[in-house]
Amino acid sequence: MMRRRRPLRRAAVVGGVAAVAHHAGTKSAQAQAAEQSQNQQIADLQAQQQYAPPPPAPAPAAPAAAPVDVVGELTSLKGLLDAGVLTQEEFDAQKQKILAAS
């Protein structure tokens, strides 16, 4: 009776190994197919980007008048007046120009 079990045991082991190998081969083939599909999709997207028309160039903006920083200009003039670089009359004349421009 012992002889009968051994061949069955060997067949089970060999069959089990074959099933594992088959499963691993199937998974490997599926992974390769998925990778090829993904590579094809990437190649298609790159081809689309290569032949896509370039985006339109932005229209050149017209130069706008530089905004006058009234507070900053008046502050710097006041600093010059306090330092003695400007007289009161010069300060008043420059102040009127700045206020007229704004």
pLDDT-wise least confident of 32-41, 51-60, 76-85: 51-60
Residue 6 resides in a domain: yes
Q: Do 6 and 37 belong together in one domain?
A: yes
The per-residue pLDDT for 36 is 92
Q: Which residue has the tokens 């050149």?
A: 60
Residue 20 lies in a domain: yes
Q: Is residue 79 part of a domain?
A: yes
Q: Identify the residue with better confidence: 59 or 83.
A: 83
Q: Say if residue 98 is exposed, middle or buried (CB neighbours under 10 Å; 0-12, 13-18, 19+).
A: middle
Structural domain harbouring 15: 1-53
Q: Is the pLDDT of residue 98 over 80?
A: yes
Write out the two tokens for 15. 């069959």
Average pLDDT, the chain: 76
Is 96 inside a domain boundary? yes
pLDDT of 45-76, one tens digit each?
887 777 666 677 777 765 555 556 888 888 99
Q: pTM of whole model > 0.75? A: no
Question: 49 and 2, same structural domain?
Answer: yes
